[in-house]
Amino acid sequence: MPAEGHNRGIVVSYGREAHSALYQWQRRMQTRLGNAAALWIARNYRRIPPRAASGIGAGIGTLIRLLSPRHRRIVMTNLRIAFGQEKSEAELARIAAACYQHLGRCLVEFVRLPGMGSEEVRRVTEMRGSEHLDRALAEGKGGIVLTGHVGNWEMVGARLAADGYPLNVIARAQRDSTLTEYIRRTRETAGMRVFHRGSAVKRCLGALRKNELVGVLLDQNAGSEGVFVDFFGSAASTAPGAAAFALRTGAAVLPTFGWRNPDGTHSVVVSEPVPLVHTGDHREDMRVNTARYTKTIENAIRAHPEQWFWLHKRWKSRPPGEGG
């Protein structure tokens, strides 16, 4: 498909959101029911054995896929944007089904996290590349842990914290304050410090100056606040925060990704820092470095496409002049 036609397709691919009062009420009810179900699972399944947790999580993911046609459409739209010219519809459908099962397992693993303890976290996660973290901290400028919603990203953070690394993470508050508090408390129980957006920039800069790590998930639509960079061959609005922190503090940006293994364990790999580019133009520096980080995330997703969060409208925002 020619690039121009491909971009026009992205503008309309997600479809128009209905804005009727009935539709908005249905969306609110769906969100509330989903949050209530998540909290019910959290209260009742935190002590479940690992093998049973895997099966239950896969079942929950499949149930979510069946109950939400809207999100099924989003998942398939995203997969077509990313892989439509590389994979058949049957292959995309298989990735979508596996994605839901994977996310269900992630949910149950997150619920179990407060009761696991550092020793069990280390037992179920294999860590490679920690020398890159050590080298960055030895330089005294802190480190930026570049990651995305690949594999079980919560287990990545839990493993870093279990190994004693001072990890701070940026989180988006949920509409449900009870759910927001539960997520924050769970992460902090695992050893992470949580910064919610609003005060996050100042607190992240402070953490880097104290030679700590800051985790940044850079794979969601940033709307009007982002810069447009290539992601799977299409422009995607991306938060420039990691580039801004690196340019301001000199902290190393360390790609850190995890994925689920067939036996239910997790692998966590920290790679060498992404070299920081200086062009002499600050705005261009932000764009170029954000593009490099985004390509790193794309490569991680390509290695395990069934383990990315395809339910998010990653390409919803469009560059000026493209429409949408």
Tens digits of residue pLDDT in 251-261:
999 999 999 99
CATH code reported for the domain at 3-307: 3.40.1130
Instruction: Give which of 234, 238, 235 is closest to 221, Cα–Cα.
Output: 238
pLDDT at 254: 98
**Contact by Cβ (8 Å): 149, 103:** no
Contact residues for 160 (Cβ-Cβ < 8 A; gap 6+): 133, 145, 167, 213, 215, 256, 268
pLDDT at 214: 98
Q: Which of 28-37, 92-101, 301-310 has the lowest mean pLDDT?
A: 28-37
Question: pLDDT (tens digit, 9 = 90+) per residue, 97-145?
Answer: 999 999 999 999 999 998 899 999 999 999 999 999 999 999 999 999 9
- Distance, CA of 291 to CA of 12 (rounded, Å): 24
Residue 5 has pLDDT above 50, yes or no: no
- Distance, CA of 170 to CA of 173 (rounded, Å): 10
pLDDT at 269: 98
Question: What global pTM score does this model have?
Answer: 0.90
Percent of the chain with pLDDT over 90: 73
